[in-house]
Structure 1
Amino acid sequence: MLKIYRSNTQGQLALMNEYIKGTWIHLINPTEEEIDDVVKAAEIPSYFIKDPLDEEEKSRIEKEDEGTLIIIDLPIMTPNGTKREKFITIPLGIIVTRDFLITVCLKETPILEDFTRKKVKNFYTFMKTRFVLQLLHAVSTYYLAYLKQINRKTNEIEKELRQSLKNQELFSLLNLQKSLVYFTTSLKTNQVVTQKISRGQHLRLYEQDQELLEDVIIENRQAIEMAEIYTPIVSGLMDTFASVISNNVNNVMKILTSLTIILTFPIMIASVYGMNIPIPFQRSPHAFAVIMIVSIALSSITTFVFWKKRYL
């Protein structure tokens, strides 16, 4: 998908049909034809657009004569086949040229939709440096929002696990733990890119954008700290409930073993008196009662001993 946006001095955003200086070229999982079209119009290398389309591409910033390529990881929330969503990260390419600002992403995300739906204040397509910083700030804000959702979902799963220890809840915790690992790694690489931008070597910085740049650095640092705090919490929670499940299994096995031992004495006595050999009390009219009393007494004594030792 290829869309071209241009804003006027009042901040009103409009769709365009041609490449005009100061426009924002928005690419979402573009076709080869769209890639070639933008490459020719912006006069940039094709890898500027193709690299961000690789899901494994790492965050980086690269400056060439044709323009500057910035790749960062942004968070998205995807369905997981269950009632809970899965959090992952995908690359976002930001290409700054003399005449255009180009964004490339594999999927449409709420972060970019906020710009196309005019939810971002003081957004102008021709102010490319501010646009880049606004994108970075929006990415950091969404990281913080998703981290809060992960923390809330962790608390919900913990409550469910206290009531019913199921494998599904443990798998949900595992997915959250993986999401936190992805978030932490992506945030740290994004922080490196932001620090390079702050030096002013790859992107021209303006005095009025310094405050926004500082906000980006602070928001990103806060997101890193939150991810690093939540990661051991989720890991500890998984270990705790895994130990609880193992302990419950041990308790069940202990009870079953105790019951087996308690029932062994009646079974042994019944087996002996079921043999076709001379045995005591075989001609006594009270043989059955005596056998039952002895069996119950042995089982009762064994039960009492196990109860005192808390095996039951």
Structure 2
Amino acid sequence: MIKTYFYKHADGTMHHDVDLNQISTLLADERNLLWVDLFDWQPRDLQWLGRIFSFHALAIEDCIYDSPRSKVDRYDGYDFFELHALRYNEDRDPEIDSEELNVFLGKNYVVTVHKNPIESIGRIADVSRKTPHYMTKGPDYLLYAIVDGITDTYFPIIERISARIDELEVEIYEHPALAITEEFLSLKRTIVLMRRVIDPQRRIFSTVGTGTRYTFEVHKDNVPYYMDLTDHLERISDSIEIFRDLVSSALETYSSYGTAKTNEAIRMLTIITTLTATLTLITGIFGMNVPLPFQRSWWSTVLVVAIMVGLCIWMIRVFRKRNWI
């Protein structure tokens, strides 16, 4: 499905569902801005759009086949972006997945391509039906608004992951179980996917406003917006690195805690075995079916029991003295 939003600079008006076959007329004035949103598409829709805008075949191929990493490629007359939005649901397995968003950024047009609805694009599209708010500052500002909206959806995920780590750090001492290990591993997979998505996007926009050559052209009035976007991505990236360290440390702590509990159990079993083995040796000797001294005297039974009790008390005192129990 194709939706179009056209800002005509001459009279400051918005137009929708324009005829893309008139592309040369629509883009004749460089101050105009055309946004084409292609979603729930079929390959033939993408190829038709590629012919309208003369997109390179490699860029069309990148749209058709999903890529796990974000990137930006410069072609003649436009830049091509592969970006990713995230969907998070901790009750699902896998609990997080990514939605690829492809963007063609031209001199006075933006083309977005995605299979499924993306929240930030839907919000901007709703505003653009009523007002040219996002369309008056150039295509680079529209790109910023889209990416900033996607970035804003990362923060609730970050907050929830932080809360889950805090909860699990308490549970590993209160309710140690195999399920906690599985929860930690699930969190680790989530953090790895977020890192794979966010770090390349951070690198794409990190050169804007630094005085170095931009990875894509940005109007000087829009540079502060990209600096703010980069700051958000840096904060998220730093949080992910911290979460990765916390999860790894928690897993090591949980493993050490489990090992300590196992060692404690083995130590107690060893002590019990030592006590019972000694008593079994004594009773085994006096229980042999051969003549033994004083075996017909009841004092023999009292003496054997006293020796067994004395040995138990002595061994327990030795164990305590050595802090074994």
In which range does the TM-score fall when normalised by the shorter chain?
Answer: 0.7 to 0.9
Letter aligned with residue 26 of structure 1: L
Asked whether the equivalents of residues 108 and 138 of structure 2 are also in contact (C-alpha less than 8 Å), the reply is no
Residue 27 of structure 1 is aligned with which of 35, 39, 45?
Answer: 39
| 2:308 is equivalent to residue 308 of structure 1 | no
Amino acid at match of 2:124: F
Q: Percent identity?
A: 14
Q: Partners of 1:5 and 1:228 in 2: how far apart?
A: 39
Distance 1:132 1:298, change over 3 A: same
- Corresponding residue number in structure 2 for 1:186: 197
Kindly tell me the number of residue pairs found equivalent between the two proteins.
308
Q: Which amino acid aligns with 2:37?
A: I
Q: Out of 91, 95, 102, which is 1:86 matched to?
A: 95
* Cα separation, 1, equivalents of 2:250 and 2:302: 55
How far has the Cα of 1:277 moved from its partner?
1.6
Following the alignment from structure 1 to structure 2, what is the Cα–Cα distance between the partners of residues 110 and 226? 23
1:193 is displaced (CA, Å) by 1.3
Aligned to 1:267: 280
Which of 154, 161, 164 is equivalent to 2:172? Answer: 161
Higher relative contact order (CA 8 A, sep 6+): 1
Q: Which deviates more, 49-58 or 273-282?
A: 49-58
* Conservation of the 8 A alpha-carbon contact between 1:13 and 1:118: no
Distance 1:75 1:225 in 2: 17
Structure 2 unaligned residues grouped into runs of 5+: 27-33
1:277 alignment partner in structure 2 = 290
Instruction: Return closer, same or farther for 1:39/1:296 CA change in 2, 3 Å cut-off.
Output: same
Distance 2:298 2:15 in 1: 106
Q: Which whole-Å CA distance do the structure 2 matches of 1:159 and 1:31 have between them?
A: 49
> 1:105: which partner in 2?
114
Residue 269 of structure 1: SS of its match in structure 2?
helix
Q: Distance in 1 between matches of 2:86 and 2:152?
A: 10
CA deviation profile, 1:253-308 (whole Å, cap 9, x unmatched): 11111111111122112222332122233222344443333222222222232233
Letter in 1 for 2:3: I
- RMSD after superposition: 3.5
* Separation of aligned partners in 2, 1:78 and 1:33: 33
Instruction: Write the deviation string for residues 165-193 of structure 1: whole angstroms up to 9, x where unpaired.
Output: 12222222233233334433433321221
Please report the TM-score for the alignment, with normalisation by the length of structure 2. 0.79
Partner of residue 253 from structure 2, selected from 229, 235, 240: 240
> Who is 1:70 aligned against?
81
Q: Which amino acid aligns with 1:167?
A: L
Deviations 1:189-242 (CA, angstroms, capped at 9, x unpaired): 212211456567664433442321221122122222222333222222221121
> Any conservation in 2 of the 1:24–1:125 contact (CA below 8 Å)?
no
Q: 215, 222, 229: which is aligned to 2:235?
A: 222
